[in-house]
Chains A and B, each alone.
Chain A
Amino acid sequence: MSAVVAEHDKHHDHSHDDHDHGPAKGILRWIITTNHKDIGTLYLVFALVMFFVGGTMALVIRAELFEPGLQFVEPQFFNSMTTMHALVMVFGAVMPGFVGLANWMIPMMIGAPDMALPRMNNMSFWMLVAGILLLASTLFMEGGAPASGWTLYPPLVLQTGKALPFAVFSVHLLGISSIMGAINIIATIFNMRAPGMTLMRMPMFVWTWVITAFLLVAVMPVFAGAVTMLLTDKFFETSFFDAAGGGDPVLYQHIFWFFGHPEVYIMILPTFGVASTIIPVFARKPLFGYSSMVYATAAIAFLSFIVWAHHMFTVGMPIVGELYFMYATMLIAIPTAVKVFNWTATMWKGSMTLETPMLFSIAFVALFTLGGFTGLMMSIAPSDLQYHDTYFIVAHFHYTLVPASVFMLMAAGYYWLPKWTGNMYNEKVGQLHFWLSAISVNILFFPQHFLGLAGMPRRIPDYNVQFADWNMISSIGGFIFGISQLLFLYIVIDTIRGGTGIKATNEVWDGAVQYGGGGTVGLEWTLPSPPPYHTFTEAPVVVPIEYEH
Chain B
Amino acid sequence: MDESLKQKNARLVQILVLVVIGMFGFGFALVPLYDVLCDLTGLNGKAETVAAEETPYKVDMVREINIELLTSLNEATPLIFRTETKQLKIHPGEYHTVNFYAENKTDKVVVAQAIPSFSPGVVAKYFNKVECFCFKQQTFKPGESKVMPMRFVVKPDLPKDFKTITLSYTFFDNTKASVQN
Contact = CB atoms under 8 A, between A and B. Distances in A.
Judged by CB atoms under 8 Å, the answer to whether A and B touch is yes
A333 B44 CA distance: 29
B20 A225 contact: no
B13 A187 contact: yes
Contacts of A223: 27
A224 B121 contact: no
B137 to A, nearest CB: 9
B13 A222 contact: no
Contact of B23 (A221, A244, A254): A221
A240 B31 contact: yes
A425 interface: no
B180 A237 contact: yes
Interface in A177-205: 179, 182-183, 186-187, 190-192
Interface in A145-200: 179, 182-183, 186-187, 190-192
Contacts of A316: 44-45, 119, 121
Interface of A: 116-117, 179, 182-183, 186-187, 190-192, 217-226, 229, 237, 240, 242-246, 248, 250-251, 254-255, 258, 315-318, 320-321
A186 B121 CA distance: 43
Given A220-B20, A222-B23, A255-B27, 14 more contacts: A183-B20, A187-B12, A191-B5, A217-B23, A220-B23, A221-B22, A221-B24, A226-B27, A229-B28, A244-B177, A248-B44, A315-B44, A318-B42, A318-B43
A186 B16 contact: yes
A243 B45 CA distance: 12
B34 A186 contact: no
B27 A221 contact: yes
A315 B173 CA distance: 24
B41 A321 contact: yes
A325 to B, nearest CB: 12
29 contacts: A183-B12, A183-B20, A186-B12, A217-B19, A218-B23, A221-B20, A221-B21, A221-B27, A222-B23, A224-B27, A225-B24, A225-B25, A225-B26, A237-B177, A237-B180, A243-B115, A243-B170, A243-B172, A244-B115, A245-B113, A245-B174, A246-B115, A248-B38, A254-B34, A255-B27, A316-B119, A316-B121, A318-B122, A321-B43
Nearest to B177: A237
Given A248-B46, A251-B34, A320-B41, A179 B28 contact: no
Contacts, number: 109
Those 5 A-B pairs whose CB atoms lie nearest each other, nearest first: A225-B27, A244-B172, A221-B24, A221-B23, A222-B27
Contact of B9 (A117, A243, A255): A117
Nearest to B30: A255
Most buried by A among B5, B27, B28, B122: B27
A316 B170 CA distance: 18
A315 B46 CA distance: 13
Contacts of A187: 9, 12-13, 16
Contact of A244 (B8, B41, B113): B113
B87 interface: no
Contacts of B172: 242-244
A222 B24 contact: yes
Contacts of B106: none
Contacts of A320: 41
B17 interface: yes
Most buried by A among B9, B17, B49: B9
Contacts of B9: 116-117, 187, 191
Contacts of A220: 20, 23
Q: Say what secondary structure dominates the interface of chain B.
A: helix
Given A221-B21, A221-B24, A318 B41 contact: yes
Interface residues of B, number: 42
Contacts of B74: 243-244
Q: Say what secondary structure dominates the interface of chain A.
A: helix
B31 A251 contact: yes
Interface of B: 5, 8-9, 12-13, 16-17, 19-28, 30-31, 34, 38, 41-46, 49, 74, 113, 115, 119-122, 170, 172-174, 177, 180-181
Contacts of B119: 316
B12 A190 contact: yes
Contact of B43 (A219, A222, A255, A317): A317
Nearest to B22: A221
A219 B19 CA distance: 10
Contacts of B174: 244-245
Given A191-B5, A221-B21, A316-B44, A183 B13 contact: yes
Contacts of B120: 318
Most buried by B among A117, A183, A186, A218: A183
Contacts of A245: 113, 174, 177
Contacts of B170: 243
Nearest to A320: B41
B21 A191 contact: no
Nearest to B4: A191
Most buried by A among B49, B119, B121: B121
Contacts of A217: 16, 19-20, 23
A117 B10 CA distance: 9
A246 B42 CA distance: 15
Given A219-B23, A243-B115, A258-B30, A191 B43 contact: no
A251 B20 contact: no
Contacts of A243: 74, 115, 170, 172
A179 B27 CA distance: 15
Nearest to A259: B27
A119 to B, nearest CB: 12
B22 to A, nearest CB: 8
B168 to A, nearest CB: 11
Contacts of B38: 248
B44 A192 contact: no
Nearest to B176: A237
A55 B181 CA distance: 47
Contacts of B16: 182-183, 186-187, 217
